Structure 1
Amino acid sequence: MKDYKGYLIDLDGTMYKGSEVIEGAIEFIDYLNKHNKSYLFVTNNSSKTPQEVADKLNDMGFNTSSEHVISTALATSGYISEIDPGASVYMIGGSGLKSALTEAGLEVKNDEHVDYVVIGLDVEITYEKLSVACLAVRNGAKFISTNKDVSIPNERGFLPGNGSLTSVVTVSTGKTPIFIGKPEAIIMNQAIEKIGLSKEECVMIGDLYDTDILAGINSNIDTIHVQTGVTSLDEIKAKDVLPTYSVQNLFEVIK
């Protein structure tokens, strides 16, 4: 296996499952820290701040920091602020998304007269929140969704993901949003820029083909599929475009 300088790493299904650490994950991050390898956790979860993500990892036994996290919340705020600084936003989502938008200098408003509608995962979703989003999009607001995941893994099973919430607004208004998260190139390009390396020097690691592996493929970087989460090895073998590598766990990546 190629010795990469930069690693873009999925979380759920790759580092942990719910509250359980996946075999080899802590040892892999320790290896990266010891050998001064650059890495970023690339997550479609917009509800948590980078510090909250890092705190969860450290509580589970990892040794990392918020500087090693890029979320769809950060990628979304970066995308909007770059093309439309100071824009007004109506958002559906958690504290992580709100913090990212406000820290990027965007105005978060609670009405339908805004420049953008941004939808992220919101476990306290209501009919009223969706109604305001629909009205704003109908009024001409640009429509952005942090990611298209229709379901998310949980100890209880698979629960509705942000893509499911987004679809309500799409169906009601007939407008398709710009998606930011994996497998789209927007978050990946920001991650590669943040890590400061060329695409040839980086690799994307994840368990789910339709998000993690396709994100790497769509961004023209190498990929490592780990057989510890959603997509099985048999399912991988049936794909038209294969990952660069598929490993049983991250012990196989440690040199």
Structure 2
Amino acid sequence: MTDIEGAILDLDGTVYRGDALIPGVEAAIAALRERDVDVLFFSNKAIERPAAYREKLAGLGVPVDDDRIVTSATVTAAYLREHHPGESVFLVGEAPLAEELSEAGVPVGPPAEAAVVVASMDRTFDYEVLTDAMVALEDADAFYATNPDRTCPVEGGEIPDAAGMIGAIEGVTGRELDRVLGKPSSVAVETAMDRLGVAPERCLMVGDRLETDVLMGNRAGMRTALVLSGVTDAEDLREARTAPGRTDETPSPDHVIDSLADVLSVL
């Protein structure tokens, strides 16, 4: 019997890549559930609502309940509602994130009224948006990001993620983020643990990114498994393990597997 009672699974690069399910994943998830491991899907992307992820997973043969999907957008909305109630947010992000904030009662407004600036992946990001972000940060009290990911894996390669927007805004304003709210933050950990209702040491974190998935698991005391089916390959891992200046904050997976299809081997 395994001591693992819950599993947090990243989506892009771990469960699927683009619109294609990674081979063997459907059976692996079914096997986890058969062993009474509660599965939570956690995407750091904020460009889709949880319902869209549920529909996508169902279409790929992986049924999931609504409350077993978390995104950096849902974490961000809940955090702003609790810590910045009624404060206007200037958002660099796409419509699904704006909808998530609106449903949580978080007002999204123009840059001149912003008390908070939130940066996220935005495929329409341009000079005008960058200028608006500069204006917003002149008086805003807080500067957050949904996620720190540099790229997003898609079929055939990768595309820029939120780090591009964050870097541009930090570069022109000279102001650094106050915090990231999605993986690998403590806010993300708390959200996931609340959903699963298990202790971190009885949870397995599976993902394809060292600096988000694995680091979150390391910080929380979870068991971690890095999959090589997404943005991190064997050479990336070797370089990370041999890089100078390693600290306690350097991500270090407990297990490395080719893909989620092999997850039972680490239980």
TM-score (norm 1): 0.91
For residues 72 and 47 of structure 1, what CA distance do their matches in structure 2 show? Answer: 9
Q: Which moved more, 1:229-238 or 1:57-66?
A: 229-238
Can you list the C-alpha shifts for 1:133-173, whole angstroms capped at 9, x where unaligned? 11111123411111111222223532221111111111111
Partner of 2:210: 209
Tell me whether 1:23 sits opposite 2:23 in the alignment. Answer: yes
- Length, aligned pairs only: 255
Tell me whether 1:228 sits opposite 2:219 in the alignment. Answer: no
Unaligned 5+ runs, structure 2 = none
Question: Which letter does structure 2 place at the counterpart of 1:230?
Answer: V
For residues 40 and 107 of structure 1, what CA distance do their matches in structure 2 show? Answer: 29
Tell me whether 1:109 sits opposite 2:109 in the alignment. Answer: yes
When residues 14 and 236 of structure 1 are mapped into structure 2, their CA distance, relative to the original with a 3 A threshold, is: same
Q: Is the 8 A contact 1:30 1:63 kept in 2?
A: no
When residues 82 and 135 of structure 1 are mapped into structure 2, their CA distance, relative to the original with a 3 A threshold, is: same
For residues 66 and 23 of structure 1, what CA distance do their matches in structure 2 show? Answer: 24
Partner of 2:170: 170
Q: Is the 8 A contact 2:28 2:262 kept in 1?
A: no
Partner of 1:81: 81
Q: Is the 8 A contact 2:15 2:21 kept in 1?
A: yes
Can you list the C-alpha shifts for 1:160-207, whole angstroms capped at 9, x where unaligned? 211111111111111111212223332122111221111111110012
Q: Which moved more, 1:13-22 or 1:35-44?
A: 35-44
Query: 1:127 deviation in Å?
Result: 1.9
For residues 13 and 106 of structure 1, what CA distance do their matches in structure 2 show? Answer: 31
For residues 140 and 109 of structure 1, what CA distance do their matches in structure 2 show? Answer: 12
For residues 8 and 153 of structure 1, what CA distance do their matches in structure 2 show? Answer: 19
For residues 235 and 206 of structure 2, what CA distance do their matches in structure 1 show? Answer: 18
When residues 168 and 227 of structure 1 are mapped into structure 2, their CA distance, relative to the original with a 3 A threshold, is: closer
Can you list the C-alpha shifts for 1:216-239, whole angstroms capped at 9, x where unaligned? 112221101223222234543552
Partner of 2:193: 192
Partner of 2:5: 5
Q: Is the 8 A contact 1:10 1:43 kept in 2?
A: yes
Query: 1:79 deviation in Å?
Result: 1.5
For residues 51 and 191 of structure 1, what CA distance do their matches in structure 2 show? Answer: 17
Which SS does the other structure have where 2:167 is aligned? helix
Q: Is the 8 A contact 1:205 1:213 kept in 2?
A: yes
For residues 242 and 84 of structure 1, what CA distance do their matches in structure 2 show? Answer: 34
Query: 1:9 deviation in Å?
Result: 0.6
Partner of 1:154: 154
Q: Is the 8 A contact 2:75 2:181 kept in 1?
A: yes
Which SS does the other structure have where 1:144 is aligned? strand
Which SS does the other structure have where 1:192 is aligned? helix
When residues 154 and 227 of structure 1 are mapped into structure 2, their CA distance, relative to the original with a 3 A threshold, is: closer
For residues 182 and 230 of structure 2, what CA distance do their matches in structure 1 show? Answer: 19
For residues 63 and 236 of structure 1, what CA distance do their matches in structure 2 show? Answer: 32
Query: 1:33 deviation in Å?
Result: 3.5
Query: 1:2 deviation in Å?
Result: 4.2
Q: Is the 8 A contact 1:51 1:65 kept in 2?
A: no
TM-score (norm 2): 0.87
Select 1:253's aligned residue among 253, 257, 263. Answer: 263
Q: Structure 1 residue runs of 4+, over 6 Å off?
A: none
User: Identity of aligned pairs, percent?
Assistant: 30
